[in-house]
Amino acid sequence: MRQYLVNFYKIVADDSGHDHTILQHQALVGARSEVSALFEAKAMFREAMGVADWRLRADTCEAVALADVAA
C-alpha cells in the first residue's frame, strides 16, 4: 500500500484578473492506487467541508505518491 498526499485547489482571480491556484485542503491517504486515493480523499473532503460535492469548495485535486507502507 502506498501513501498519497492529495491536494485540493481553488482557482481565484486577483484584482487585475490574473488567476491564482490556492491550496484549500490536504489529505494523507493510504491506498493501492492513485485512483483509490483520490476517491477516498474526495469523500474525506466532502465530509470535512459538509458538502455533497467536493467541487463546491475546490476546482481541482491531485494525488502525489509518497512512499510504500508495509502491509
Which domain CATH number covers 9? 3.10.20
Domain total of the chain: 1
What confidence tens digit (pLDDT) does each residue in 8-40 have?
Answer: 999 999 999 999 999 999 999 999 999 999 999
Q: What is the mean pLDDT of the chain?
A: 93
DSSP 28-56: EEEESSHHHHHHHHHHHHHHHHT-SSGGG
The domain of 28 spans: 2-68
The pLDDT assigned to 30 comes to: 94
Is the per-residue pLDDT at 68 higher than 90? Answer: no
Pseudo-torsion of CA 53, 33, 22, 43, nearest 10°? Answer: 20
Q: What pLDDT does 71 receive?
A: 55
